[in-house]
Amino acid sequence: MKFKRKIVPKLKIKPNFITKKRLKEDEINFDKLRSYRLDRVKKELEKNNLEACMLFDPVNIRYALDTVNMSIYNMHNLTRYCFVPVNGPVILYEYFNCEGLSKHLNLIDEIRPSITWDYFSNGDQAGAQLEKWINEVKDLSNSYFKSKKIAIDVLNGPAVTALSNAGIEVLDAKLILEQARVIKSTEELKCMKAAIEVAEIGVTKMRNELKAGMTEDELWSILHKTNIEHGGEWIECRILSSGQRTNPWMQESSNKIIQRGEIVSFDTDMVGPYGYCADISRAFVEGNKFNNEQKKLYQMAVEHINHNSRLIKNGISFKEFTEKSWKLPDEYYGNRYSCMVHGIGLCDEWPMIRYPTDGGERSGSFEMNMTITIESYIGKVRGKEGVKLEQQYLVGKNGLELMSQHPLEDI
């Protein structure tokens, strides 16, 4: 079989990219973006007969209020949160001395200092601080959720117990926020396209600069640098590997030196400009000369994604999709990826459609203006190398619309 590789021209980053970014920001109506998202949260609360939620997850706070402060830090410290009632004031409880950071956001009615009760922040005063927080929640309940039921996304055990003892029932806000986030507005799609564009600048640089002798970490750092210098925020994972480390999948970037002719596979998982995620996967070969086995793996991954992408359209059920999805050959099935499809927005989102033997997704269907990624990992069990590919799509009126434009290798 003859193999012709499509020549991908080196991408030149023009000095006026920042100017372009500002022009794009002029095209985004941030008031509409924020109002749409907060309204989605409130409607989901009403749909579930709830009067209020309290959000600690920085991604959920970003979705509801578009306010950001030390997101990664606050993913593992309960030091910043917000209160969103269906009827009543939206209150941001801000980290120490940071109240001024969100004063420009007109959907936030009030900003208060956060009450923290974790051991790191308070040591032997944690119990007394927890009592203060409970009293604050009780005051909110007396005015804004008299049902004594509140949805909360992240909370530690002592706080759940204390709220229960105070007669307040805690429900999981994850369902509320995941369902709110699933349908994207026009303004959200503009933000997502901007994030994908930045990711693809980084991916193109990685392809151009890949060479034997560099480490996986060196190659991976190119995407991080590109993201930060173009207004991006963080990268969720660090999944990049080369050669025999590509099989099995999910090995993290290391100081391994990339050798001549090795496959390099990676997953961007990049939270870029405006907090939206660009989630695509690519596989390159150092030197751009695929051997026969590498060609076979790559072609299977492309066939996998293309088959599944043709199935998805507005209204098709997750169950029907799962039943008709591409069948991974037995010798590859043990190394399958964790899902075939997942939603995407500010980060990976609902739905997550697994392989049939892993439970699949039993209810729900694809809807207009969902944004999703289709995943493929092809690597034989006990094989030498593997290929990871992933494309990002919008569910349009007549099927899927490809959002990720970085070209696949032409085999």
pLDDT in tens, 261-286: 999 999 999 999 999 999 999 999 99
Statement to judge: residues 170 and 205 lie in one domain = no
Q: In terms of domains, do 135 and 209 share one?
A: no
d(CA 31, CA 37): 10
- The structural domain count of the chain equals 2
What is the C-alpha separation between 405 and 411, in angstroms, rounded? 17
Tell me what pLDDT residue 3 has: 32
List, for residues 127-176, the tens digit of each pLDDT value. 999 999 999 999 999 999 999 999 999 999 999 999 999 999 999 999 99
Residue 253 sits in which domain range? 186-402
pLDDT for the residue numbered 13: 44
Domain membership of residue 389 (yes or no) is yes
Band (pLDDT 50/70/90 cuts) for residue 9 is very low
Instruction: Give a yes or no: residue 16 inside a domain.
Output: no
At 25-35, the pLDDT tens digits run 789 999 999 99
Model confidence, pTM:
0.92
Residues 123, 204: one domain?
A: no
Amino acid found at 130: L
Q: Is there a domain that residue 11 lies in? A: no
Q: What is the mean pLDDT of residues 295-324?
A: 97
Q: How confident is the model at residue 7 (pLDDT cuts 50, 70, 90)?
A: very low
**Owner of token pair 């269907």:** 365
Decide which of 17 and 399 is more confident.
399
pLDDT at 21 over 80: no
Domain for residue 408, yes or no?
no
Read off the pLDDT of residues 310-359 as tens digits, 9 standing for 90 and up.
999 999 999 999 999 999 999 999 999 999 999 999 999 999 999 999 98
Asked if residue 240 and residue 369 are part of one domain, the reply reads yes
Among 181, 215, 243, identify where a domain stops: 181
State yes or no: pLDDT of 5 exceeds 60.
Answer: no
Domain boundary among 159, 181, 203: 181
251-255 own/partner pairs: CB under 8 Å, 24+ apart: 253/216, 253/217, 253/219, 253/220, 254/215, 254/216, 254/217, 255/215, 255/216, 255/217
User: Are both 93 and 236 inside the same structural domain?
Assistant: no
The answer to whether residues 50 and 174 belong to one domain is yes
Same domain? 387 vs 286 = yes
CATH number at residue 134: 3.40.350.10
pLDDT tens-digit readout, 193-236:
999 999 999 999 999 999 999 999 999 999 999 999 999 999 99
Spatial separation of the C-alpha atoms in residues 51 and 148, rounded to whole Å: 9
- 177 and 199 in a single domain? The answer is no
The domain spanning residue 280 has which CATH number? 3.90.230.10
Instruction: Give the separation between CA 305 and CA 115, rounded to whole angstroms.
Output: 47
> 9 lies in a domain?
no
CB 121 within 8 A of CB 142: no
Q: Are residues 37 and 74 in the same domain?
A: yes
Q: From the centroid of its chain, how far is CA 84?
A: 23
